[in-house]
């Protein structure tokens, strides 16, 4: 097991790791839209989504994985009315890559974020 810690994503706000690699599989903790430099969260939903994607990229890069290695994504939205905008931003982020995904509405997220995403990536995934 290898623990991934990077300054390219927010530090954990609890007793957990940003990500862990077991064999060739990377498991991330939920990423909320904290800017790892300023430690702030924007109030705008679109900016929050883009920050979460940036945090995900930071973890992937630090672990020497890339976006095409992602196989599973869990999305937690504070408001499902943001679903269409999220889908557009998500499609732009992943381009032609389409990992499996679950999206659910939740009543509250840490730091009053509007979105949280966790993911699983694997380097040996083939079809």
User: What is the full DSSP assignment across 20-34?
Assistant: EEETTEEEEPPB---
Give residue-wise pLDDT tens across range 71-116. Answer: 999 999 999 999 999 999 999 999 999 999 999 999 999 999 999 9
Q: What is the pTM of this model?
A: 0.95
Q: Where are the domains of the chain?
A: 2-122
Edge to edge, what strands does the sheet with 2-4 contain?
2-4, 19-22, 25-28, 115-122, 70-77, 100-105
**What is the band of 124 on the pLDDT scale with cuts at 50, 70, 90?**
confident
Return the CATH number of 2-122, one of 3.40.1260.10, 3.30.1330.40, 3.40.50.12140, 3.60.15.10: 3.30.1330.40
């Amino acid at each position: 097991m290898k623990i991934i810690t990077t300054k390219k994503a927010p530090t954990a706000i609890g007793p957990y790791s940003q990500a862990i690699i077991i064999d060739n599989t990377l498991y991330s903790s939920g990423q909320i839209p904290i800017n790892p430099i300023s430690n702030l969260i924007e109030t705008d939903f679109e900016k929050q989504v883009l920050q979460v994607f940036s945090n995900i990229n930071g973890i992937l890069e630090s672990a020497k994985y890339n976006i095409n290695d992602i196989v599973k994504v869990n999305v937690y939205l504070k408001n499902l009315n943001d679903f269409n905008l999220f889908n557009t931003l998500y499609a732009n982020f992943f381009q032609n890559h389409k990992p499996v995904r679950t999206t659910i509405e939740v009543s509250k997220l840490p730091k009053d974020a509007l979105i949280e995403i966790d993911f699983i990536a694997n380097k040996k995934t083939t079809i």
